[in-house]
Structure 1
Amino acid sequence: MEQLFAHVPPEPGVAFVVVSHLAPHLPSLMPELLAKQTALPVSAAEDGAPVEPDHVYVIPPNAALTLEHGALRLEARDDRTNLIDTFLRSLAEERGERAIGVILSGTGSDGSLGLKAIKEHGGVAMAQDLASAKYNTMPRTAIDAGQVDWILPVEAMPAKVMEYVARIQSTSARPADGAHEPTRAREHDVLMNQLCALIHRRTGRDFSRYKRSTMERRVQRRIHVLQQRSLEDYVDLLQNTPAEVDRLFQDLLISVTQFFRDPELFEALARDVLPRLLADRAPDDPVRVWVPGCATGEEAYSIAMLLAEAPQTAALGAKIFATDIDDEAL
């Protein structure tokens, strides 16, 4: 952390939030130690504090930290909560393409699912290169899961952050030319159709009817990561770089999933739907469930848990089928 902040410029224009493994009941010296390496104000995160650029916020001991409506939210720490993934998920939902997730040296698999959420919402991710990490399991897990855009030594990370921020800001500031808007829209659609054709030719998957807003967001993410000047340049790159078609394909398949996601829906399933499905069923007629887009399986297993807890299932049995077009997720 000290190496990273020693290379951050005086006015980076971004906010840094540090979430680290801390002993829950011991005071942390992290704010004081980092303050020696940077001119930016460094403070322990406080509940309700607005997040401002050119500031560093450090998670305090025995707390879980999230970002909500531009402010930090602190809750009592629960031993079952993955602090790093929890914060990164909230960052993804709050900031979209302006979220940058960074995984440094550490043990365990913390951060991998959080980076997945960031990529799904259009942001980017980087991890410390394994050779320089004292404990490389955290960055290795994120890299092996395919969630990392840049693998860098710590001292090179601030420059890459600044490069990405400048790219996002220049894109946002670009004025629209109203007179040529219909023509540009048609040209854009032609290029997106070409892009879908390239993916289809390479993978056999047809994305022509994929949700357009999601498709646009994830294509734009690759354009930012590769610093392409335009969609036209990116399509040219795809035509000449089959490996980039594969990378875009994997980005398009990213799905954020978790056990009992959308709790109210699972409550309704357990309360209203399953009892009707299981009632008056013959013993030789097991319940069959299909999860068509199962990603890494959390939804299928959540349904299995509900069925296992239903008293009628013991006599009837159940079969659950889970499918997905993402071989890596399966």
Structure 2
Amino acid sequence: MTLSAIQISVVVPLYNEEESLPELSEWIARVMNENGFSYEVIFVDDGSKDRSWDVISNISQENPNIRGLRFVRNYGKTAALQTAFQAAKGEVIITMDADLQDSPDEIPELYKMIKEDRYDLVSGWKKKRYDPITKTVPTKIFNAATRSISGVSLHDFNCGLKAYRKEVVKNITIYGEMHRYIPVIAKWNGFGKIGEKVVQHRPRKYGTTKFGLERFIFGFLDLLSIAFVNKFGRRPMHLFGSLGTLMFFLGSIIAFWLLGKKIYNIYHLQPYRNVTDNPLFFLALVAIMVGSQLFLAGFLGELFVKQSVSKTGDYNIADKVG
């Protein structure tokens, strides 16, 4: 199969999902064959402790459209997706979880929305969920906070079922736990046509969930991180320099006001106390020192950014002519 012949790459990150893999692979193959799609399936074994890799190897021998990647240890879902994105050859990349809670029957419509409706990215929305309230309530709070901070109007950022144009996944980089923020990262990299599709959420058939409540805490920290990097990553002086200058001048004004007050009292023969006896003086000194350090941090950040851009020139180009 040639590179240009592959219409769809299905990316499936997994960890200890040996029971669901045969059923999932057969289901995907059936959907692809019924719709006449040329395809590949990339299973990414994220350091499973069970027989998941043996199952993937057997499935791959039976179906040449199925590929497998295996990590030496558990790196996390984001690492699995980033690795598979770089390996994918399809014109449309569709991600889904391996636990059978995502339905492969959604693939044709997701593909249509990318190819015919010209979306850059389509995110699934599990409007009706089969999760306990301890999971659904934090999810709603998390999604509301993400919408507010990012400006991306999606109902379900954490849905594993998503579809992308090839150009999107080839021009973004994710790390840490940022897989749930791919729509945000894509928008901030110029891929702003983002759609949403209500998808079926199926009850878990095998095993147990691999994620706990801590993912929301780490996820929120990652959201703040990418928001900062997007806004100030290429112009750190705008943040650190502004804060540093403000604190420096505020501290200087307080210090000079205290000194001026002392000189005034001495000149008019009024009682006075030493400047160092006033707590405001030490607060002013702290503000001056912190302000200077922030300004220096911004200056050093600008040097690093300039060096990085001069070496990589990593700006996304939409098109070329001539």
**Which structure has the larger Rg?**
2
Q: Which has the higher contact order (CA 8 A, sep 6+)?
A: 2
- Same fold by TM-score greater than 0.5: no
Greater per-residue helix proportion = 2
Q: Give the structure-1-normalised TM-score.
A: 0.31
